[in-house]
Structures are given as structure tokens and as C-alpha cells.
Amino acid sequence: MSDTQEYEKAAATSPTTVAAFATHDRSMVKSIQHGLHQTPWMVPAIVLVGSILVFGLVLGQKFFSPFALTLILQQVQIVGILGAAQSLVILTAGIDLSVGAIMVLSSVVMGLFSFRYGLPVEIAVAAGIACGTFCGFINGFLVAVMKLPPFIVTLGMWQIVLATNFLYSANETIRAQDIADQAPLLQFFGNKIAFGGAVFTYGAIFMVLLVLFLAYVLKQTAWGRHVYAVGDDPEAAELSGVQVKRTLISVYMLSGLICAFAGWALIGRIGSVSPTSGQLGNIESITAVVIGGISLFGGRGSIMGMLFGALIVGVFSLGLRLLGADAQWTYLLIGVLIIAAVTVDQWIRKVSV
Amino acid sequence: MEPILKGRNLVKRYGRVVALDNCDFDLHHGEILAVIGDNGAGKSTLIKAVSGAVTPDEGKIWLEGKEVKFHSPLDGRHAGIETVYQTLAMSPALSITDNMFMGRELRKPGFRGSVLRQLDHKAMDAFARDKLNELGLMTIQNINQAVETLSGGQRQGVAVARAAAFGSKVIILDEPTAALGVKESRRVLELILDVRSRGIPIILISHNMPHVFEVADRIHVHRLGKRLCVINPKDYTMSDAVAFMTGAKEPPQEAAAA
């Protein structure tokens, strides 16, 4: 460059060494903050291990046994599966209040297709899964194409799906005994593998595999990176070449699909098909996601954190029950955890400041 | 010679605001065209119209003589037009590599890429590191650090590196030196000249008149949503250009026709 500006001459003689970050002023707190920024699931993992240790010490064998620990897995399986669906939606800076309702409707469709219409159970299951996916598609279409706020869309869908569920099922329960006799495939996720005192239901195994699979997809595939980009800043994602609408619709459809699987697992868990079950699924799944360190503002967090969040809730409820404490203590502590988790999230965001 | 990128009678309205008012636009092969204009003159809308980020209400755009209709930034990118937006269009929580390859990720060869859809993080990291080194304005230690942990200048450097690495036909830079220091700005200007020497034309939008007059081959003066005139930086001074752009001076008759 021959015609550099006058004021730039000085720059040519300035030091050419690469600026290095000063490392000595990184206090302990700062490095923890940086560590959490890199691995957001650390907090729930630490809390989970800590709470297992504390309850183990207090309760001894009663809690610290393979049976009790796998019982926790069984108890959180539904919330864990719904939480996986919820995580995907929350990563896009949305929220899905209809997960519980879609789960119940899907399970009712599976039950009624085999018992009311006498269809083969495989077809009934496929219909239930299709139903859940379709509900997710409606959510996704309204959010991505009609540009309605996810909170409003899924609040409406929650009511619509739940009402459809009651109208369609006429509020009738299909008894567990009938299902076991005539359509055992519906209870597939209730099957158990036991070794030693540990009991793993297929549903609990499915939950873990699902979370591992989604963790792979989110981290290792282009689609997964796009989910994060859309949640982070949709305009930037659009400008840098992400098909935002398609990504959003696919996320809500996948969420609906997972909810349908949760519905199938729900039949395995409670044995029967009941239109009144799983009513708190949406709130419980959001709780797991938030305690798991996934940001409600989108684009941050990992789905493993959600699994830890769900397990924390499970450990607290079982541990406190075994201690003979009032169940309200569980809710109180979970409330504290939620607020603490969001506080930590806000703190981690300030990492660069 | 036919311009590589040509726009005619472009109109874009936002409600009652007319951002582009029958605007014409020409970019010739291998040149650096600067677009200058007062704030709100419609410069950004103009470049968004030719990059695909907004669809003009009226008017036509030709790329290499063929009419094109872009409905999304992705269309523009597929056609070989790469843009650095003023907002930089980066996802703050994602890494530098993720941002550089957003929407054009590399997959691993063989089974893991085609069936498992696994991304080739290693190849992407190496490529990103290479491009940033080429730009030379990076002091980044970790290519996987989140973009939000970078300074404003570093972010802008990543955005410019992304455009320079992937733009094949036209590169558009909207205020590429706004957040940069003196030295970093110099690197970006050198990069711009380097890109031109590879035969790729550049549209440069800038408020920095010394920079514009230094690198531009022609200057498109934008005023009130229209192309007021196109001037040769060798024939006019910076204060002339500012006078045209603010309306203090009438544009030269022969230049307006060019």
C-alpha cells in the first residue's frame, strides 16, 4: 500500500506481536464462569451428584440401592421424554405448553384405534404417532409462517388438543387388563429388564437413548447447529443462510413426534389409556429444561442438562418421600432450584463483559 | 460491456416510506464500487435488494446478463453473492467456525457423513483458521470460542473473512470498517484490493470518505432512494462527494447519465 493515509503511518511502526489475553487476572470465579459458558450442563450435573450423595448419606441403603436409583429413572421417564421435546422448542427461543396434551391425545388415539375400531395395534400406534406429529406441525406452521408467538400458539393448542382428547375419548379409560390381553404392544415401554436389584423399563431406556441421540443430532449435524442459530438470533440466522421457517416447523414436528412417543411410554407406565393422565406434563417438562440450564431465551444449553434436570426433580421427590417429609417440601425446593437456575443462566451470559 | 450486476427501476416501500424510488444500479466486472449516501438514503435497502435479503416491490435485477429473482439471502448466496451486513448476521452463542459455515456445513466423507449426517468439525476448523490467518487481523486463540466473546472488531473480521472466503461472483460489504481500529481497517482495505485482484467485484458501503476515495474505482452517490450520480473519485474531491450526497451541490450532468 503506497497511498496510506497520514494518520495510519504510525500504525505501521506499532508492535506486530499478536495481542495475547492477559491470563493472570482470571480469578477463580471468572474461570468458573468461563467453564460454565463452555459446558452449560455442568451446574445440573453437579447438583444431581450432590443431591444423590446427600440423600445417600442421610438415608443410607434405603436410597442408595440399585432398586431405588432405577426407580427414579422410571419415575422421570415421561417427564424426561417430554423434556426432550420441550428442549428442542426452547432452544429455538420458543415454548411448548401443549406437550402434555399432545402426549395424552396420542395415547388416546393409540388406544381407541385398537379398541374402538379394532384396527391392528401396529396401525393404531402409527396413527397415534402421526397424530402427535400433526399437532406439532400445526404449532410449527403457526409459529414459523403466521409468525404468532409460541406461547400463545401452544397455549391455544393445549386447550384445543385437551378438549379434543376428552370429546374424542368420551372421557373413557381403557383398562390395563384389556390392553395386556388384546394389545400388549401398547404396553411395550412398560417391559422391564432386571439385573440385581436394578430394574430398567424400556421407557426409561428409551428416554436415555433419545436424549443421547438428540445430543448427537444437536451437536454433530447441520440441522442441530441451525436450531441453535435460530434460537440465538433468527434474523442473523436468516441472513447467514439458514432456512428459518423450515427449521422451526421441523423442530415443532419433531417435538410433536417425541410427545407421541411419550404417549406410548405413558401407556406402558400407567398400564391403561387414560384421558385424564399426564395433565402436568407441560409444566414438569419446562421445569426439567430450566433446571437443566437451557436458556428460556433460546440458543443456549444442552439437552443432557435437561436429563439431569429431570433426574434432580426425581431424586428430590423420592428422597424427600423416603424421609417422610411433606410433599410440599419437594415443590418448595424445586421452586428454589428453578429460580437459581435462571440466575446462573443470566450470570453465564455476562461472560464476555 | 454488460455490467455483472445490474438493477433497473428498483422500488421498495415500507408502509408509506419509500426506501427505493426507481433506483438504478450497475456493478462492472472487476471493479470496486463504493455506495455513499446520507443516513436513511436507502443504501442498505439497495444492497439488500441485490443480495436477496429484501425482495423489491418493482424493478428487475440481472446477474451476468441473466435476470434473477431472489426471495431469500440463500438465493443470493447460491448465485455467488456474499454479503457482510451492517449487523454482521452472526449467532453470538455459536463458535467462529459454526458462524463461518452456517448454512453450508461440511459433512464427513463416507458413511458417517452421508448416513449419520455427521459434520466434519476438523476440516471446518482448519479452513476457518486458515481464512482468519489470511486476513491477518485476528488475535484469536481458540477457533471454537463463541462469537459473543470476541470484540466488535474481531467479530467484523470474522464476518469479512466469511464473505471473502465464499463469495464467487460479487462481494457486498456494508460498513466493513465501522467497528475496526486503524490497523484492522487497513487490513480490510488490503483484503478488498486483494479480492479485486482475484477478479471479483466488490460493492463497498462506507461513511469513511478517505477509505472510499482510496479504494473505489467508481462512486455511486445515493440520495433520497435514488442513484443521484456516479462519479470517478479521481475527478472530484471528498467535499464534492459530500456536497452531492447532502444535496448542497447539483450533480454533474454527464456523470448522472453514466
Q: Which residues of A touch B183 (CB under 8 A)?
A: 8, 11, 14
CB atoms within 10 A of CB B71: 9
The secondary structure of B70-100 as a DSSP string is -SSHHHHHHTTEEEE-TTTT--TTSBHHHHH
Give the long-range contacts of residues A67-73, CB within 8 A, separation 24 or more.
A67/A197, A67/A198, A67/A199, A68/A318, A68/A322, A69/A198, A70/A197, A70/A198, A70/A199, A70/A200, A70/A204, A71/A199, A71/A318, A72/A311, A72/A314, A72/A315, A72/A318, A73/A200, A73/A201, A73/A204, A73/A207, A73/A208, A73/A311, A73/A314
Cβ contact B72–A8 (<8 Å): no
In this structure, what DSSP letter does residue B108 have?
Answer: P
pTM reported for the whole predicted model: 0.88
Say whether residue B96 is in contact with chain A using an 8 A CB cutoff: no
pLDDT interval class at B258 (50, 70, 90): very low
pLDDT value of residue B115: 84
The residue assigned the cell 428460556 is A296
Contacts of A228 in chain B (CB under 8 A): 91, 93-94, 98
B148 secondary structure, DSSP code: G
B170-174 and B81-84 as β-strands: parallel, antiparallel, unpaired?
Answer: parallel
Chain A neighbours among B 58-87 (CB < 8 Å)?
A: 72-74, 77, 83, 85, 87
Interface test with A, best of B83, B91, B174 (most A CBs within 10 A): B91
Listed residue (B245, B88, B243) closest to B163, CA to CA: B88
Give the pLDDT of residue B82. Answer: 92
Name the residue facing B148 among A7, A20, A352 (closest C-beta): A352
The list of chain A residues with pLDDT below 70 reads 1-26, 351-353
Q: Is A171 exposed, middle or buried (0-12, 13-18, 19+ CB in 10 A)?
A: exposed
Per the CB < 8 A criterion, the answer to whether A137 and A256 are in contact is: yes
From first CA to last CA, the distance across chain A in angstroms is 36
A11 and B102 in contact by Cβ < 8 A?
Answer: no
With CA atoms as reference, report the closest residue to A77 among A219, A279, A250, A278: A278
Diameter of chain B measured on Cα atoms = 65
Interface with chain B: mutation pick from A5, A219, A240, A353, highest number of B CBs within 10 Å? A240
pLDDT at B243 over 50: yes
Decide which of B140 and A165 is more confident: A165
B182 vs A223: CB contact, 8 Å cut-off?
no
pLDDT tens readout for residues B56-71: 999 999 999 899 999 8
Q: Which residue of A has its CA nearest to B82?
A: A240
Our CA-based measurement puts residue A109 at a distance from the nearest CA of chain B, in whole angstroms, of 32
pLDDT in tens, B152-168: 778 888 888 888 888 88
Amino acid present at A22:
A
Q: Give the best residue of A31, A239, A352 to mutate against chain B (max B CB count within 10 A).
A: A239
Question: What's residue B138's pLDDT?
Answer: 56
A22 close contact with B: CB closer than 8 A: no
Cα B90 to chain center, whole Å?
Answer: 15
Tell me if A31 is assigned to some domain: no
- For chain B, which domains are there? 5-257 (3.40.50.300)
Contacts of B191 (CB under 8 A, 6+ apart): B135, B160, B164
Give the gap in angstroms from C-alpha B82 to the nearest C-alpha of chain A: 9
Chain B positions touching A239 (Cβ under 8 A) are 53, 73, 83, 85, 87, 89
A241 contact residues in B (CB cutoff 8 A): 73-74, 77, 102-104
Residue B94: list chain A partners with CB under 8 A: 225, 228-229, 232, 299
CA-based angle A240:B97:B112, to the nearest 5?
100
At residue B186, the pLDDT reads: 84
Contact A222 B94 (CB under 8 A): no
A172 touches chain B (CB under 8 A): no
Residue in this structure with the C-alpha cell 459434520, named with its chain if needed: B119
Strand residues in chain A grouped as ranges (E): 192-195, 198-201
Enumerate the residues of chain B whose CB falls inside 8 A of the CB of residue A226: 102-103
Q: Per DSSP, what are the bridge partners of residue B36?
A: B221
Nearest CA in chain A to B191: A1
d(CA A241, nearest CA chain B) in Å? 5
Q: Report the C-alpha dihedral over residues A318, A320, A323, A327, rounded to 10 degrees.
A: -110
- Please tell me the distance from the alpha carbon of residue B47 to that of residue B57, in angstroms, as a whole number: 14
Residue B254 pLDDT more than 60?
no
Greatest alpha-carbon span in chain A: 90
Where residue A101 sits, what CATH number does that domain have? 1.10.3470
CA B75 – CA A316 distance, rounded (Å): 52
Residue A84 lies in a domain: yes
Q: Does A16 reside within a domain?
A: no
Rounded-to-integer distance, Cα A299 and Cα B143, Å:
19
- A61 reaches B (C-beta below 8 A): no
Q: Which residue range forms the structural domain that includes residue A153? A: 40-344
Residue A353: its pLDDT value, please? Answer: 46
Q: How far is B253 from chain A (nearest CA, A)?
A: 30
Q: B-chain residues within 8 Å CB-CB of A4?
A: 186
Taking the Cβ of residue A5 and every Cβ of chain B, the question of whether any pair is shorter than 8 Å is answered with yes
Which residues on adjacent β-strands are paired with residue B63?
Answer: B5, B66
Q: Please give the residue of chain B at the shortest CA–CA distance from A40.
A: B93
- Beta-carbon separation of B117 and A223 below 8 A: yes
Q: Which among A146, A128, A347, A144 has a CA at the least distance from the CA of A256?
A: A128
Taking contacts as CB-CB distances below 8 angstroms, the residues of chain B near A222 are: 105, 107, 117, 119
Q: Is B91 close to A19, i.e. CB distance below 8 A?
A: no
Model pLDDT, residue A1: 42
The reply to whether A37 touches chain B by the CB within 8 Å rule is yes
Binary contact (A236, B90; C-beta < 8 A) = yes
Taking residues B224-247, report their average pLDDT: 89
Chain B interface includes A235 (CB < 8 A): yes
Q: Give the nearest partner residue to A243 out of B74, B182, B210, using CB atoms.
A: B74
Q: Do B94 and A238 touch (CB under 8 A)?
A: no
Averaged pLDDT, B86-102: 89
Pairing of strands B5-14, B58-63: antiparallel
Count structural domains, chain A.
1
pLDDT for res A125: 96
